[in-house]
Amino acid sequence: MPELPEVEVTRLGVAPYLLGRHLEGAIVRDRRLRLPVNADLAERVTGQCLLNLRRRGKYLLLDLEQGSILIHLGMSGHLRILPRAAPVQKHDHVDLLFAHDLCLRFHDPRRFGVVRWLVDADDDPLIRYLGPEPLGEYFTAEYLYRCSRGRQAAIKSLLMDARVVVGVGNIYANEALFAAGIDPRRSAGRIALPRYAKLVQSVRDVLEAAIVQGGTTLRDFTRPDGKNGYFRLSLAVYGREREPCPHCGTPLTGARIGGRATVFCPRCQH
């Protein structure tokens, strides 16, 4: 599933082509996504100017003059900038038609994505309860330490709780915990403030590096230019169970935490 870096890479890829342009319509070929596409989407957006294209966690928000279009890539979705006449492929479900023959096309083979019209995006239930951005000013060691007090849950589960911090998905939680030297199984409430300072910095470093390298392509994700993300080549632990730790050579251990695949070094992480 595309995580925060992949969504940010998508935002950076499409924004320069679309900001300030007017929408001239929309084509919905299949409304049956994870949430149904609004039946009146074309009517809602036609004639409006795209004022801002921002990311909130794993959601993209296209802010228009009146309302916003929310897009979630789901497990297999991606966006492309194309000429309107570009041949339609199977699973091309929604086109947003912009001035000067530009089309923002949403492709999603598994249909777990979302394209929704929102009158007030920041007050919508999908957005309202999200925690702070991990690359923003409110995600600090002190904040995460406060959130962890009294919690028996594993630290990896806390990192992946969108109400605590938004967008740190499974791949990057594995990598950040390895970089911080913290066992992902460790109770969040038993980690001291100095270690949270290291973890917060590791989360930032891992996410920023992934964005620079175009995200991580494991199966379905491609950038808006059609290329793969190359952070996969930099993964230290994720997907490397039983391989030697890049720091000490100890075989990496696999586990399931919150139903998600977890890989860590039993020697370096404690």
For residue 153, the 8-state DSSP code is S
Question: What is d(CA 57, CA 86) in angstroms, rounded to the nearest whole number?
Answer: 30
Distance of CA 227 to the CA centre of its chain: 17
> What does the CA dihedral 184, 145, 122, 14 come to, rounded to 10 degrees?
-50
Indicate which residue of 3, 6, 24, 133 is catalytic: 3
Indicate which residue of 21, 31, 185, 260 is catalytic: 260
What strand order describes the sheet that includes 50-56? 50-56, 59-64, 68-72, 114-118
Neighbours of 15 (CB within 10 A): 17
**Catalytic residue check, 260:** yes
Extract the runs of DSSP E, i.e. beta strands, from the chain: 23-28, 50-56, 59-64, 68-72, 78-83, 92-98, 102-107, 114-118, 253-257, 260-264
Neighbours of 12 (CB within 10 A): 15
**Catalytic residue check, 90:** no
Question: What is d(CA 119, CA 50) in angstroms, rounded to the nearest whole number?
Answer: 14
Indicate which residue of 58, 116, 156, 223 is catalytic: 58
Catalytic residues: 2-3, 58, 260
